[in-house]
Amino acid sequence: MRFYTGQHRYYCGIDLHARTMYLCILDHESGKTVLQRNLRCEPELFLRAIEPYRAHLVVGAECIFCWYWLADLCMQEDIPFVLGHALYMKAIHGGKAKNDKIDAHKIAVLLRGGAFPVAYVYPRGMRATRDLLRRRLLFVRRRSELFTHIRIVFHQLNLPAPAGRLREPRSRVGLLEAIPDAVVRANVEADLALAERLDEIIRSLELTIRRQAKVDDPKTLRLLKTIPGVGRILALTLLYELHDIDRFPRVGDFLSYARLVKSQKASAGRVTGTSGAKIGNAHLKWAYSEAAVLFLQKNPRAQRLISRLRSKHGKGKALSILAARLGRASYFMLRRATAFDMDRFVLN
């Protein structure tokens, strides 16, 4: 966990919502409130309210779905902006009394006291492509749910399971003819029609993402694709979720952010368990878990490695260890701007 420790004359805490925002500005020396105001989420109103203090002001807000415009506005106006990590802001969520006025004051107090937990402000230029990539993954999962339902229908009727992978259009040929009941056939037909539409949407999104990735960071994209099993989509996911490897000073920081290691809880010299399983980037966790499975395909050296890990730790934990090792390898690859080295990976 990182805290914001910058020193300013004024600290502005904002309890941000979709349509309204509550401002609280504290004086650094006295800690007294110099401004409290409830505003509509309009840039002109916000800038007008903070105008007397903006020369020595820092703005802080909790990380919720609508923070983009506020961060971009502060950057445009050269006003320091800090994004608060929502899962760490226990002072706000655990209060006995809670409203917009209290929450904004607590955010300002945390900023002033150097106890404001910092989240990463993803840069505006790459943010839209990252969100588009996440949306594409959502559509892929929805399509997979349709295919799962089709297979369930075939099991219900005790019919031979569909051959091949249903995500390939040629594997869907003849599915409807195999179902004797007209009503059940209509059910599967609806699934196939929606899957075909999702195919078109996914292809269109992938084309847009590929074009943009070539502009944003082609070098990093090429390095990530040198990892065996990491194809276009996984490399793009890693690229846009990482953004810049230099923001992680140590490999442990990166592995923790990617949810590839567990955080240990200890007290009085005794380990009491683990925590923080939901803190970090879930998309990176998915990408490295997927990469670990694909890494093993048509890769005898990797298969021998996982066999050793499986005999020692079991199947599930072996895959988790492999995913963490891939995360560690990619961290140093990007830091040193070198391609993936299979010899070094297997020996370490």
Beta bridge partners of 57: 10
pLDDT single digits (tens) 163-201: 889 999 999 999 999 999 999 999 999 999 999 999 999
Q: What pLDDT, on a 0 to 100 scale, did the predictor assign at position 171?
A: 92
Distance between CA atoms of residues 330 and 317, nearest Å: 20
For the entire predicted model, the pTM comes to: 0.86
Domain formed by 3-119, architecture? 2-Layer Sandwich (3.30)
Helix residue spans in 161-314 (DSSP H):
182-216, 218-224, 232-242, 251-257, 282-295, 300-313
Confidence of residue 123 (pLDDT cuts 50, 70, 90): very high
Element (H, E) at 39: strand 33-40
Q: What pLDDT, on a 0 to 100 scale, did the predictor assign at position 347?
A: 82
Q: At residue 277, does pLDDT exceed 80?
A: no
Domain boundaries, the chain: 3-119, 125-216, 232-266+279-347
% of the chain with per-residue pLDDT over 70: 99
pLDDT single digits (tens) 61-84: 999 999 999 999 999 999 999 999
Q: What pLDDT, on a 0 to 100 scale, did the predictor assign at position 330?
A: 96
Q: Are 45 and 39 in contact (CB under 8 A)?
A: yes
Q: Are 25 and 35 in contact (CB under 8 A)?
A: yes
Q: At residue 211, does pLDDT exceed 90?
A: no
